[in-house]
Structure 1
Amino acid sequence: MNEDHKKRGLTHSKLLTAVAISSLLLSSGNVMAAQTASNDSQGVQEQMQSISVTVTVVDTKGEPIIGANVIEKGTTNGGITDLNG
């Protein structure tokens, strides 16, 4: 009976070792994927540029229009004109 318990103990320890090694291997793959995704996003940020555009909105008489909404076509970028149009 004692020998049967020893065999079961060895089987359980082998199973536990296999599960532990599998867990480590799977978790290291996730870390590598996260690092790759982080590097890709940094590359995208380096390529993006900020361009400032200044406009004056006037009516047909040449008077500045106060509070006109100006939006870049196809985006949500924009602003509202001030006292100078």
Structure 2
Amino acid sequence: MPRYVFHVRTRHRLERDKEGGLFTSADAAHVTAIMAARDMAAQDQLSGTLDLEKRIEICDEGDRCVATVWLTTVAGL
């Protein structure tokens, strides 16, 4: 199974995921990233720190970005 990582990027910083996870496909990794983004957006909204530029970049084993999930999209903003 291929490994995908979920880097979190904001306007000013990039938090690299060093572990990632094994997924059957990029689509399966995308579903997991959407759920993670929903959790992040909810936490950020509760704390009043939602960054409109914050996103999860789904990258393959070669660290090539295959999809991006914006927190504002999953938060309905």
Q: TM-score, normalised by structure 1?
A: 0.27
Q: TM-score, normalised by structure 2?
A: 0.30
Higher helix share: 1
**Structure having the higher Rg:** 1
